[in-house]
Chain A
Amino acid sequence: MLVEFALHHAWLVPLLPALAFLIIVFLARPWPKLSAFISVGGMATACFFATLAAYGVFTNHQYTEHPLVYAARWLTLGLPGMPELQINVGVQLDPTSAMMLFMVSFIATFIQLYSVGYMKGDPGFSVFFSYLSLFAASMLLLVISSNLLQMFIAWELVGLCSYLLIGFYSHKISAREAAKKAFVTCRVADFGLLLGILGLVITFGTLDLVELSERVANFREYTTFGTMTLLAILVFIGPIAKSGQFPLHVWLPDAMEGPTPVSALIHAATMVVAGVYLVGRMLFLFHEVPVAMDLVAITGAFTALFAATIAITQREIKRILAYSTVSQLGYMMLALGVGSLTAGMFHMWTHAFFKALMFLGAGSVLHALHHKADVWEMGGLVKKMPITSWTFVIGGLAIAGIPPFAGFWSKDEILVVTLNGGHYILYAMAAFTAFLTAFYMWRLIFLAFYGEEKPENHPHESPWTMCVPLIVLAAGAMTVGLLGTPWNNIWAEWIFFGEAHHSGEIAWGAMISSAVIAVAGIYLAYTLYLKDKEKVKVKALAERYKSLYNLSFNKYYIDEMYLWFNHTMVDGSAKLFYLFDIYVVDGIVNGLGGFGKLSGEGLRVLQTGRLQNYALVFFLGVLAIAVLMVFAGPSTASLVLGGVM
């Protein structure tokens, strides 16, 4: 009964946090506690409905084949009977969106709960919660969208919220710039996505996802292959920025300028997975175009490796996590690129738990150390902050891919599908990335939580509102992967593209090798950072490969390149256009004015201002008219005189 209600009122899920946003902004703002209560309450209720809806979808197998869609007219242009453009907004529920709905609302709830403790005493407490609610609402709207344009709208709203939240400490210039960077970077990519959407609506005449997928399937009847490729690539440009893929990943590490719960929300549940989700949703389009699929896969694999190589040298705790997010998103893209919605979504699912956990753990650490972010200045935190540390370790095991933690199953799934698809180079890249992942994540753990305590730090355990989410998420990070074990793969029965293609055959080789790779990574980190107390070997290595180290530490100078491009090319051409405007365009205008003025000055000589002079000229005129009238005849005269007579 309640499940039915939740299924058919799934729009309530985004609406509740949106309402919370409105109530906080207009009413509850002066009372921080009330605001927090409204926000968390709204989110929890939404999560409740989302859970019910997800339960409804997962228990009813008809929705895996035919999504539950209901929509309302939003905009119609053209004649009522045969519109030229019709946009509907609505809800599309299938296992993919139901899973996302549950995941987003679940994680958002706990992050909000965590924020109650983390943001305590902040002057913008209420505002922060209103933003969080709006953020969650936008993301949930994106998830349930039945229409590509609706999805785009939510997509942009997510971008707006990230802008607001990254720039939450707006008195800091770095936060301000990071927010701007996030927005503009995503904007550049959205330009591509928008073009893709325009192309789709022009080519196929609809943006409803279901209809679109049907029409795309028969595309050869009315469009060419080249168009299709172009469209797919354009659509993919959007996710490149949103999901932090190379080369538009630059905003994501900077996004940690926001409060830590925001980073957790962005990195785990909302913003970045939007891109992956979009690609997953549009897989029917990519699937038709092998080139686009390859592009997605290669971008994903490259990003994964690329970000991992940066992460190994970073010093700030949140920056390391940020690059690890970029890397993990690369995995998801890789999975989608090789055609496995199952693996991609599965990794997104597990990643959401352990990454949220790790970010919240990092926030807890920062909270305790008064925002000292450098991992080299931490150490031995495990003694003073046991809950934070142990949950973080669980997260570390999960992301490194140690069985039976969540990350292992999903990462393994990706490696297997890559290998099965015959993409050996991509597999090698992914496997190496897995090694690096284990290494840098455990480097972080060994440096921050183990080793010697630093006397200048006075850490303390965080309050319960922060610890409960950590524990819950840690439990999730341990268990959620069990949904998709090779032995009992419920996941693959729900979420797949095309045919459910789980063979049932267990790829022992891949599984064992990925576990070994993970252990090797951890061991390397152990020898370099924990066993070697003075870190001699590390310093020697950094010294020996100094140029490589610098390249990695400075993130391959990509930010600098963008900065240069922005300041030289864009601002330069802006200056140029402006100068052209005031000197050439305005020059012509003012020149015309000047010409008028000059000729006026010239003619002014004729204007003596003397009465008799004027009378003389006037009389000459009278004479001329008289002569004209008489000799030319009245009709001609009237013509010449302009019809005056």
Chain B
Amino acid sequence: MSFPVLPVILLAPLAAALVLVFVPKDEHKLIKSVAAIGTFVSMALSFYVYFGYDQTLGGLQYVIRHDWIQDLGVTFFLAVDGISLPMLLLTNLIGFSAIFASWNIGTRPREFFILLLVLITGVMGTFIAHDLFIFLLFYEVVVIPIYIMVVIWGSSKRVTKEYAAMKLTIYLLIGSGFLLVGVIALFTKSISILGAPDMSFSALAIAGSQLSAFDQKWLFALLLFGFGSLISMWPFHSWSPDGYAGAPTAVSMIHAGVLKKIGGYGLIKVAVVTLPVGAHFWAPWMAVLGIAGVAYAAFGALAQKDLKYVVGYSSVSHMGYVMIAVACLDVIGLNGAVANMFAHGVMAALFFSMIGFIYEKTHTRWIPDMGGLAHQTPKLAVGFMMAAMASLGLPGLISFMPEFTIFVSAFDNYGGLAVIGIAGIIITALYVLRAGANTLFGPPRTEYDHLEDIKGVELVPLVVLGTVLVVGGLLPSLLFDMINSGVVPLHAEISNVLQLGGNL
């Protein structure tokens, strides 16, 4: 039996959280170090898995599978493939950075880091679970710490943090409620097809693709609503800007960086694969919603004066691209979708961590109150501008190639409609540059002369995420080869079903 690397990755942050329970609550340094070590172990191991994964072989690797609830066909099934592996890596990159982005937390740090670690574990779990039950279980684990963290450590701006937390949580729970209905219906229908209950993704995919077209359509609609509200699909997006604005930095990072991606990931790995006919039926609608989201949220971001709202709306806009890409249902589009989730995760996390530092230092996020920060805090400005440039899809940074592939596929499949979505890049450039220019450039303000630039461990998010940003941009095949190895077989399955069931 080989080294159970996935469980270790999953449990390392949890173990750190457990250790933290016994750490005295005043030992701030120790608390943070323990949290950092826990996430570092996960990150290092997920790098090991990422580069140890055999792409030519493909499929599920590093499999751990144990029976759990036999009556429901639930197995404790952890594995990675070309789609979940980038997401796992992303989670750990952001998790590790998030620890350092919240290094200066002063109130109740022990509770904060315990919750943060639980959150990271939950998110990781969703990405490496290949059993639908486990997937949903981990997903629900995620929601609760977020609520607590927003309420206790959040900040009230346009809306109170309580409102933000409530909106976030209830929205996600309603979404997952619909999702749950869909999943249960799918599961009960699958039993008669498979002959035995089985909750694993692969089994459900076999069963689901044999369902009648009608069943597939309404089931997919339920799943689409569930995952869609998670990925902030227009018009179910309004939790996202408010939630991010209210949340503490680390939560914003993880939420925008990875949690949101559970929606896209689930959409691809669960909904599309299991219900290809349904996906095919709803694809045009998804595309329309995605395009609407891109344009609408980009304009929304343009009107914002609070930095976090800008990024909040921008993430809605970027997730619109993912929706379009999924709706294309071809190899290029699916590749682009997954890659864009990865790219946006890195970028959004960097953005939020830099905004977090700005807020920590200036005590404001209101753009008109700032200006010229590049002179007082140059490193912060570098991080901010890197994130901003990645956000507007600058080539050479990680988000360009994903967007390009999405555009290729969208333009191919939806033609003129896609043009509206692609035009989003102009508006994106406008709001991102405007926010950057008004925050960082212009005449320096004397009231910020005393500010210290980020230094020491505060640089970790910038270094880690910035490196990924640049390396992924210069060598996109590092990311795309991996994703491609997962997407190709997946797409083959879908197109098989669609060809067989073309007349359904």
Contacts and interface: CB of A to CB of B under 8 A. Distances in A.
Interface stretch (A78-86, A310-318, A531-539): A78-86
Contact of A85 (B237, B408, B411, B425): B408
Interface of A: 73-79, 84-85, 149, 152-154, 156-157, 160, 167, 170-173, 175-177, 179-180, 183-184, 187-188, 190-191, 194-195, 198-199, 201-202, 570-571, 573-578, 581-582, 585-586, 589, 593
Given A157-B394, A571-B302, 13 more contacts: A76-B484, A77-B405, A85-B332, A85-B405, A171-B442, A179-B437, A194-B404, A198-B407, A199-B411, A578-B303, A581-B238, A585-B235, A586-B238
Chain A at the B interface: SS class: helix
B28 interface: no
A577 B442 CA distance: 28
Interface stretch (B16-24, B127-135, B139-147, B474-482): B474-482
Contact of B430 (A156, A176, A184): A184
Contacts of B167: 589
Interface string B401-429: 10011011001100000010011011101
Contact of B396 (A156, A167, A175): A156
Contacts of A160: 389, 394, 396
Contact of B434 (A76, A180, A581, A585): A180
Interface in B317-334: 330-332
A570 B408 contact: no
A565 to B, nearest CB: 12
A599 to B, nearest CB: 15
Interface in B369-384: 372, 374-375
B7 interface: no
Contact of B425 (A167, A177, A191, A576): A191
Given A199-B411, A570-B430, A574-B300, A194 B401 contact: no
Nearest to B158: A582
Given A171-B442, A180-B437, A153 B396 contact: yes
Given A176-B442, A201-B408, A571 B429 contact: no
Nearest to B170: A593
Contacts of B351: none
Contact of A170 (B239, B374, B426): B374
A183 B237 CA distance: 29
A233 to B, nearest CB: 14
A202 B411 contact: yes
Interface string B434-462: 10010011111000000000000000000
A570 B299 CA distance: 8
Contacts of B425: 187, 190-191, 194
Contact of B477 (A74, A184, A188, A578): A74
Given A176-B437, A176-B442, A191-B422, A153 B395 contact: yes
B488 interface: yes
B317 to A, nearest CB: 11
29 contacts: A75-B476, A76-B477, A76-B481, A78-B484, A85-B332, A152-B395, A153-B395, A156-B394, A156-B400, A160-B389, A170-B440, A171-B372, A171-B444, A172-B442, A175-B441, A179-B437, A183-B433, A184-B430, A187-B430, A194-B407, A195-B419, A198-B407, A198-B411, A570-B427, A575-B303, A577-B296, A578-B304, A585-B238, A586-B238
B121 interface: no
Contact of A573 (B237, B299, B392): B299
Contacts of A578: 299-300, 303-304
Nearest to A186: B429
Contacts of A152: 395
Contacts of B301: 574
Contacts of B170: 593
Chain B at the A interface: SS class: helix
Given A76-B481, A77-B335, A202-B412, A577 B434 contact: no
Contact of B441 (A154, A157, A170, A183): A170
A9 B440 CA distance: 40
Contact of B332 (A77, A191, A585, A593): A77
Interface centre among A78, A84, A160, A195 (most CB of B within 10 A): A84
A149 B331 contact: no
Contacts of B444: 171
Nearest to B413: A202
A523 to B, nearest CB: 46
A352 B389 CA distance: 30
A157 B396 contact: yes
Nearest to B429: A187
B422 A77 contact: no
Given A74-B477, A187-B429, A199-B411, A171 B443 contact: yes
Interface string B165-191: 001001100000000000000000000
Contacts of B423: 191
Contacts of A73: 477
A156 B239 CA distance: 34
Contact of B400 (A153, A175, A202): A153
B442 A170 contact: yes
A340 to B, nearest CB: 31
A367 to B, nearest CB: 24
Given A74-B477, A167-B441, A571 B303 contact: yes
Given A157-B396, A176-B441, A77 B484 contact: yes
Contact of B480 (A77, A167, A183, A571): A77
